[in-house]
Chains A and B, each alone.
Chain A
Amino acid sequence: MKRYTIFVITENFIGILNRITIIFTRRGINIDALTASESRIEGIHRITIEVTASEDTVIQLVNQIEKIIDVIKAFYHEDDGVVYQEIALYKIPVSKLDGGLEKIIRQHNAKIIAAEPEFVVLELSGHKEQTQELLEILKGYGLLEFARSGRVAIAKRMHTIDSYVK
């Protein structure tokens, strides 16, 4: 079992996400994270799926995803084949702000992106390990809410989606 990133390049078709997730559900495989967005090319979407599985399973998943009529291409990478980033937001009560917290924000390169009379929202981008580390620390500062995105990722190999989109 390893962590893999599956990229799906697809037409923007109603229900496509459903068709993709069914493939995981049917095999009893949990999706660790999923993000979808429009790609560089108008009308074409890219979906990034993070999954923990054996390579054999991932190959089966990718083959089945690619079989979906509106999917243009699907491929998978191990973690070292992709550059990826996640974003995390932390809501902290203003009452807990002190010098210690300022130091933590600096050390982790986090940003304050919103300040309200009762709370501030910190933002940190990075790998899960980094955002998780900050989460553990901020639990000591009365953390009110926490949200983390799925990974957005770009493959390292020099290959663009244009060749599939003709």
Chain B
Amino acid sequence: MKDLMIRGADVVVRTLIEENAEIIFGYPGGAIMPVYDALYDYHDQIKHVLTRHEQGAIHAAQGYARVSGKVGVCLATSGPGATNLITGLADALIDSTPLVCITGQVAAHLLGTDAFQETDVVGMSMPCTKWNIQVRTVEEIAPAIAKAFFIARSGRPGPVLIDITKNAQTDFGEFNYVPCLGFRSYKTKIEINKSDIQKAAEMIDAAERPYVLYGQGVVLGKAEEEFKAFLDKSGIPAASTLLGSGALPQDHPSYVGKLGMHGNYAPNILTNQCDVLIAVGMRFDDRVTGDVKRYAKQAKIIHLELDPAEINKTIRCHHSVLGDCKDSLSLLTEAVAAKSHHEWLEKFRELEREEDAAVVKHDITPTKVGLTMGEVIYQVNQYKADDAVLVTDVGQHQMIAWRYFNYKKSRTQVTSGGLGTMGFALPAALGAQMFDFSRQVICVVGDGGIQMTIQEFGTIMQTKAPVKIILLNNNYLGMVRQWQQMFFDKRYSFTELDNPEFVKIAEAYGIKSQKISDRSDLNEAIEDMLIHDGPYFLEVVVEKEDNVFPMIATGCSVEEVRLS
């Protein structure tokens, strides 16, 4: 019996392997050292990526999870290691990203004594985790991790944290792993109510100007095919949220563009002209709705949603279909009549032409000397692979990249949507690349955001992850500057940056780099970058004071979207 006993730390690693974790992003420290010691023995069964900061580790795990559809795993020590995870946890919760984060904790007998590197991470992470638990004995380790994986990936996915005291890691116990298949307080499977489907189909069939809004729920529910089939049959125009991009190829005849504050012109304006609005796996974020009091008031709203707490949260719907959209969409496709909506679609195309003339032309074929962010992304489209992943940070470049990137495949959009975490892109791109070295991962980042996690160049160097990094440098915190210009009388308060020579930094990390500022160099630079075998850093100096349009200013209605 005695030889069946293993160390708690080994239980941790073996349970991770049982849960099919292939890779851990982490950073060692005192209270997690036994687990790191165990990892030494299992390095042929599970990979570990040493990031340069715990925030980098968790964003990398997020990038990995978003691209792979698997649970991202992250490891950190107690105290500061644990607190450095908090931003990533909040980001993953609001963007429904499945993560299992394991933190070390001081030995159980020291809990509550302000011991070295002790912090109440369970208490701190409560508002930003789907579930969390502290484990104080070796026997609890395997059941807690099994439960954590189940919770993270089932239902509406989210981040989970397990805090394991040091004594539990060093004590010996049996390896008592059993997969978690469910428990009574947590319902993961919602039976679709057939009469809900029937009613939704009747509303849709009676509509003259139906309109679909889709979000990340389609991707998380692996319902891309069902969604496409629904649009193919119903012929309804469909617009994407930020995180929904990729769920539908943009060349699909129903695709009409992007929603929200910096989305497209037509999808925003026509939200207030449709007669039936069908929201699929999206949560009516305030960046999508603008002023809720003037949002789609003329329309009957149908909400297809997995999370009951999202129904009627910000927008009151007339009818809801609760459940996994993979199920509800296929039932709904059967139930609706085959139709086409040519005239209605033409309205979208008409407004699209207005946007082309007023905004897109300026962005893509600029007359100014300075490069625009838009033309850079537009050129990326010419050379990128169909399944290239776009990872962006937060700000102007994020909105521009989203607007102009040609999404053709699902799980190609990785960005910090709900939380808007600057510094997300570089580590998230690394994580996305670690899932698959053969896939193109293009990281577009601003000069502000990159400096928040620039230390992860070190991780890229060490892993040789062939991430293609495009820095769009305007020497400003561009989005804040745009707001200052538009809403704060051009009082540019602390938004201009004196920047380092980024190329030198990248080169110091052994990353091949190039800096360009001339339009004539753009195409070749992008091509060089994308064909390069290994990581690449391309700095593009862009117009300093360019703005992102269209825009729905704060407090405005979707129909008040501005083109300039």
Contact = CB atoms under 8 A, between A and B. Distances in A.
Given A15-B122, A63-B309, A64-B309, A69 B186 contact: yes
Interface string A81-113: 000000000000000000000000000000000
B137 to A, nearest CB: 13
Interface stretch (B19-27, B126-134, B225-233, B467-475): B126-134
Most chain A CB neighbours (cut-off 10 Å) among B131, B134, B309, B311 = B309
Nearest to A73: B185
B126 A69 contact: no
Contact of A67 (B126, B127, B184, B309): B309
Interface in B212-233: none
Interface string A24-35: 001000000000
B122 A71 contact: no
Contact of B308 (A15, A63, A164): A63
Q: Which of A11, A69, A71 is the most central at the interface, judged by chain B CB atoms within 10 Å of its CB?
A: A69
Nearest to A72: B185
B185 A71 contact: yes
A97 B6 CA distance: 69
Contacts of B500: none
A22 interface: yes
Given A63-B309, A64-B309, A69 B185 contact: yes
Given A14-B134, A59-B312, A69-B151, A22 B127 contact: yes
Contact of A165 (B132, B184, B313): B184
Size band of the interface chain B makes with A: 10 to 19
Contacts of B387: none
A10 B131 CA distance: 14
Interface string B107-139: 000000000000000110011001110100000
A71 B186 CA distance: 8
Nearest to B307: A67
Given A15-B126, A26-B127, A10 B309 contact: no
A63 B309 CA distance: 5
Interface in B321-355: none
Contacts, number: 40
B123 A18 contact: yes
A132 interface: no
Contacts of A69: 130-131, 151, 185-186
A14 B122 CA distance: 10
A121 B206 CA distance: 70
A60 B311 CA distance: 9
B306 to A, nearest CB: 11
A14 B529 CA distance: 52
A19 B128 CA distance: 10
A60 to B, nearest CB: 7
B421 to A, nearest CB: 19
Contacts of B311: 63
A159 interface: no
Contacts of B313: 60, 63
B127 A70 contact: no
A166 B185 contact: no
Interface in B70-127: 122-123, 126-127
Given A67-B307, A70-B131, 9 more contacts: A18-B123, A18-B126, A22-B127, A26-B127, A60-B313, A63-B313, A64-B309, A69-B151, A72-B184
Interface of B: 122-123, 126-127, 130-132, 134, 151, 184-186, 307-309, 311-313
26 contacts: A11-B185, A15-B126, A15-B132, A18-B123, A18-B126, A22-B126, A22-B127, A26-B127, A59-B312, A60-B309, A60-B313, A63-B309, A63-B311, A63-B313, A64-B309, A66-B308, A66-B309, A67-B307, A67-B308, A69-B130, A70-B186, A71-B185, A72-B184, A72-B185, A164-B184, A165-B184
The 5 closest A-B pairs by CB, nearest first: A63-B309, A69-B131, A72-B185, A67-B309, A70-B185
